[in-house]
Chain A
């Protein structure tokens, strides 16, 4: 009896945002995965801020890249030829089976059900923003998303008139079984800490990825598992700075999106400036 109570108490005391239950999504980059403790934690809130408003597109890129991280290995996207490793596109006629045109694609591609634990979450991605945000910094553009490796039919865009509605809709989307990732675009102002905690809990409950995309960095307290500051870097790269990490050290990387692999690669060749001082508490100073 006492043991049971103790266990329950322990479960209740567990801080939100760093539950292990939902698992992680590996980015496929050893350095980042190691810092994140295996990969980006699912069922948690992550904050991605643009270095300044001009860099919002770069932050959008990272958010979409993380939202599109593969959950299943054999996702079928109708009409798209499976891309061979390392090659861009080959003769499409020889690859597309004609039968795929009859594929029903209302809303979502049905998630494959044979992949054990990963299959329980769906493929849907919900992008939420305030009314003005999408017209001011641009709405997600289908062909661009498609080239980015994110099938546009997976995306649902939602506008809210008030910040309160936005947070409500984010929570609602997180609780939906078939939604894999929720991206909330937040332009200005402070977010209610209670609302953030609710989001974090909703994500933990459902195992979905909650991403908060901010137009400028904020340093207020937050229950987020990780916090990133993202800027554009020359040569089609992103400068991603991990400024808060509940599971490990913080660091920064230059990433490059690879169209052919549909994932981020580490770009070591393009350091624009001196690398920022790294916080490496786990390493001894030589």
Chain B
């Protein structure tokens, strides 16, 4: 487990933004910078840079006091959101080392580098690589590697940042202050009052009195740091079941190169997918730019996919769709293709029966979805409901199951012979002003979208009850199919029946729901 602590995240962020033209670390500044924020009712310093620290300022000091001590100090209000955003970016960038990256708020990261370190030639080499890149980016940091999350965190924040093997936790932790165990401040203060200041002080104490006095949290944190209890890492991103990656000696920037890499990575994935009988339903391409920026491009498929050329075709559309957004800068130095969602795919049989037609259609759906967005390519499905707008809905075509429900609908329609249904249904019924001759009858004339329609023929009513089993199921509707003087045909309904009206209530309103050919 690797713990990374960016101890001056806020001030580094501000200084980096000023030196954005130079990727060099800011030269030694003589003017000190502090960041302040409101804690309770007081404005306190929440971050200080190196120069300010040399002046004797520290976090937790009141802003007024700091200004009194050093009037020349530059003070900037904190921006927790920008800090969090920067931390997310750094976490993205750390994905190059391991897929298991967790945020250790507010200014740390945890990387599970188990069985990843050898790719960089060992843990030291990995840590050195990380340190080199962070230093070039102008961050103050400390890195510790230990067997458990708790120990790595404690070493990075309070101890001697270094590398500790499994089983060395006890020696590592003993001299550290209790605050290193990620305990609430009042627990630490209470422990200090009884003379317990270092972790070593409580390791050998009897457990039950400690629990009784300071709560179960204290010993749980201790056990977790010592490895007696397992602490799960909560990675930011779900871990992909299949991953293939490639590092480049020379950064690549051209789109053709990116596509060629996709084919190469997809070919590697194909082998793994075939062995387990899986196919990819959702793929993600992660491109790591040399300057630390990370691009993620996802593409969905409507059937489990293994063929590298088809995977390439998907990303061709995705790249075209965001041609201007894929800014390679100085080039990408690493690419990773992950299968985010895999589904069992039976071995493919080619050339017999109608399966090809469905496959052709799915390929069209995939291409359109990749270019336009999966939500824009839809199929109609039938649902088991009597309410018109729920009875048939459209869903993204890539998510449609194998049964769209229409055979069952047809069976029902053949038996029940429902009244005619419109060809086009409005997204939601639009209120209209209608005048009816008799309360329960069809309208004589109505106004929709500012045009007046005189009804010359009407069919109905077809009564469709609301979802009466629910509290807000809506009123019953009386649907009419009407034709106006020009021959236009509409599907109207009156929401609510006169018999249900409470005395004195206003008349039910009319809505237009669809149009007939």
Contacts and interface: CB of A to CB of B under 8 A. Distances in A.
A121 B478 CA distance: 43
A100 B426 CA distance: 32
A144 B376 contact: no
B422 A142 contact: no
B380 A155 contact: yes
B403 A105 contact: yes
Contacts of B368: 158, 169, 172-173
A268 interface: no
B205 interface: no
Contact of B514 (A113, A144, A161): A144
A153 B403 CA distance: 10
A124 interface: yes
B406 A107 contact: no
B421 A143 contact: yes
B424 A105 contact: no
Given A141-B422, A165-B371, A156 B377 contact: yes
A218 interface: no
Interface in B347-397: 353-354, 357-358, 360-365, 367-368, 371-372, 376-382, 388, 391-392, 394, 397
A169 B372 contact: yes
B interface secondary structure, majority = mixed
A115 interface: no
Query: In the complex, which of the residues B379, B388, B407, B483 has the most CB atoms of chain A within 10 Å of its own CB atom?
Result: B407
A125 to B, nearest CB: 11
B379 A107 contact: yes
B365 A236 contact: no
Interface stretch (A3-11, A28-36, A73-81): A73-81
Given A57-B516, A159-B376, A234-B456, A139 B382 contact: no
Interface string B445-486: 000000100001000000000000000000000000001001
Contacts of B381: 142
Contacts of A78: 406-407, 410
Contacts of B414: 80-81, 89, 92, 96
B380 A140 contact: yes
Given A106-B402, A232-B488, A257 B517 contact: yes
A143 B422 CA distance: 8
Contact of B354 (A54, A77, A110, A172): A110
A160 interface: yes
Query: In the complex, which of the residues A113, A137, A159, A168 has the most CB atoms of chain B within 10 Å of its own CB atom?
Result: A159
A143 B400 CA distance: 18
Given A78-B407, A153-B380, A177 B360 contact: yes
Interface residues of A, number: 78
Interface in B114-128: none
A143 B391 contact: yes
A172 B424 contact: no
A60 B424 CA distance: 9
Contacts of B357: 108, 110-111, 122, 177-178
B424 A138 contact: yes
B392 A103 contact: no
A178 to B, nearest CB: 5
Interface in A52-86: 54-58, 60-62, 64-65, 77-81
Given A124-B361, A141-B423, A160 B372 contact: yes
Contacts of A64: 423, 517
Given A89-B417, A110-B353, A141 B487 contact: no
Contacts of B486: 54, 231-232
A144 B451 CA distance: 25
Given A156-B378, A157-B380, A60 B402 contact: no
A174 to B, nearest CB: 10
A145 B360 contact: no
A143 B418 contact: yes
Interface string A84-112: 00000100110010001101111110110
A55 B424 CA distance: 12
Nearest to B392: A142
B427 interface: yes
B451 A54 contact: yes
A107 B358 CA distance: 6
Contacts of A158: 368, 372, 376-378
A144 B360 contact: no
Interface string A255-270: 0010000000000000
Given A107-B361, A172-B367, A234-B487, 19 more contacts: A57-B424, A58-B517, A77-B410, A78-B407, A101-B407, A105-B402, A122-B360, A138-B426, A141-B421, A143-B409, A153-B404, A153-B406, A157-B377, A158-B377, A159-B376, A160-B376, A169-B372, A176-B363, A232-B517
19 contacts: A56-B515, A58-B488, A79-B409, A79-B411, A80-B410, A89-B417, A93-B415, A122-B357, A139-B394, A140-B423, A142-B409, A148-B423, A151-B406, A155-B380, A156-B364, A157-B378, A157-B379, A161-B372, A239-B487
